[in-house]
Amino acid sequence: MASNLFNTIYNPDVLSCLANLSSDEVFTPPDVANAMLDLLPQELFSDPNAKFLDPGCKSGVFLREIAKRLLKGLEPLYPDLQERANHIFKEQLYGIAITELTAHLTRRSLYCSKSANGRFSVANFDSIDGNVRFKITKHRWQNGKCEYCGASQQEYDRADDLETHAYEWIHTLKPDGIFKMKFDVIIGNPPYHLSDGGQAASAKSIYHLFVEQAKKLRPRFLNMIIPARWYTNGKGQGMNEFRNAMLTDKHISHLVDYKNSADCFPGVNIAGGICYFLWERDYIGNCEIVNASGTGQDPCVDTEKRSLDEFDILVRDNVAVRIIRKVLSFNERVMSQVVKPYSYFSVRSFERGTEKKCLPSDIVLLSSKNKGYYSRKKVIDRDGILEKYKVIITYAMSGGNKPSSDGTYQVISSLQTLKPNEVCTETYLVLNVFEEKFKARNMESYVSTKFFRFLLLQALTSIHITKDSFLFVPEQDFCRSWTDAALYEKYGLTKEEIHFIEDSIKPMNGGDE
């Protein structure tokens, strides 16, 4: 049975067809799973004692592809195919499914039967589950939140016959007690987030909990594919701590980064892109970062070995790092010290002005719809900028942090200057403030450059632009206007670096009056 099923070439591979069902619990294409396995020492697949665990099984693709490699690598030790298959499936491969359905999928992919002890199973198990388990787990509620994953009780406290997304791997203090053994490799593609009852953009990340739990077991190798938004931000329980831990973790030897998630998961758009990494228990050093783009056998664009914690956030592009190093060497004040905090005027995005003044003291409010008159008493102006010129942009990134079809970004939309006695809702972000109108216009010319927007882009992995996103953008002398050519010359950028910026950023129209 094993010979017939595992030596047959399926075209198309059914697991490739399952790769684009959602942007939350994304099924991994087989070619991506194999690219991740290629990062591991290949002698593992000739070791009869090596043990592999996928703690978040969906389609079973990782365990299936490992099985293929082991079936080949262990042939000299186990010439009999059935004996070899029994050893591999019963002694080396283990999985924890995230739902009952994915447990069936994984067993079907791995054992060629949804029942491990079924007549068509490639291994001789006594139980239905084999080594792929699914256990209904409960959230532990405290003050309306799950103590383990932070899930909302209002959202996920459901009837027993409904899926609660209480994943076993992250709902225990002792993950080593699940299988009661040590693993050489923990690999997988965990669930990414849980809804908190709001819009998708506000969902809480949980993928980092799977990574942290895996590290507790101290495997020889940890290999996971997760959203790249941890580079700079992420909403969820302990995300800031997770980012700091990842940046300072010298055991991460490889990180493959996809700015466009569709290059990794066809048909799936994940704001900020996707990445997979290799953590090695016995390795200490810098990380080899691969900027991958496109599909095919060799998508690598640029590779560089560098420290993950060179900056307070992880800058994904290796060429961008070289540009940032040049810019920061000028020791100029950066725009993160100038930009006003989110919702500076404390006017909610749904607020609208009126066509006519209600009181003589009313001022002009810019909302996402139009301009109108608004009560001065409802506006908070902590720094006294109301009577000055204010350069603003929209708080949400243009295009939702997803590249256009040609791979370029505009980054900023609705660039304009508010006049004295004009304010805006929290839809907008105040970049800078000036006494003179011409300086505000010169600031607009700077913001419009590809140089400015490129440096801003390096700190963005979500759809939101915040004050902290401008940590690489230097302030300029706004007594003059700015062009890309002038900025490239000022910072001594090479032709390669200029070409990289030009190919990354869209041209931008001038600001609004």
pLDDT in tens, 284-294: 999 999 999 86
> What token pair was written down for 378?
């409802």
Residue 204 confidence (pLDDT): 85
Q: Do 391 and 408 form a contact (C-beta atoms < 8 A)?
A: no
Residue 12 confidence (pLDDT): 47
SS (H, E, C) 295-349: CCCCCEEEEEEECCCCCCCCCCCHHHHHHHHHHHCCCCCEHHHCCCCCCCCCCCC
The list of the chain residues with pLDDT below 70 reads 1-25, 196-202, 234-237, 294-300, 401, 509-513
Closest CA to 29 of 214, 165, 189: 189
Q: Do 271 and 464 form a contact (C-beta atoms < 8 A)?
A: no
DSSP string, 14-61: HHHHTTTS-SSSPPPPHHHHHHHHTTS-GGGGG-TT--EEEEEESS-H
DSSP H helices, 229-298, are 239-247
Residue 448 confidence (pLDDT): 96
Residue 266 confidence (pLDDT): 86
Residue 159 confidence (pLDDT): 83
Residue 15 confidence (pLDDT): 59
Residue 7 confidence (pLDDT): 53
Give the pTM. 0.85
Q: In what order do the strands lie in the sheet with 422-424?
A: 371-374, 363-366, 422-424
Helix (H, G, I), strand (E, B) or coil at 466: coil
DSSP H helices, 370-436, are none
Residue 200 confidence (pLDDT): 45
CA dihedral 133, 138, 144, 150 (to 10 degrees): -20
Residue 264 confidence (pLDDT): 87
Cis peptide bond upstream of 12, omega within 30: yes
Cβ neighbourhood burial of 372 (10 Å; 0-12, 13-18, 19+): middle
Residue 513 confidence (pLDDT): 35
Domain spans in the chain, listed from the N-terminal domain onward? 2-316, 326-504
Helix (H, G, I), strand (E, B) or coil at 62: helix
**CATH numeric code, 2-316:** 3.40.50.150
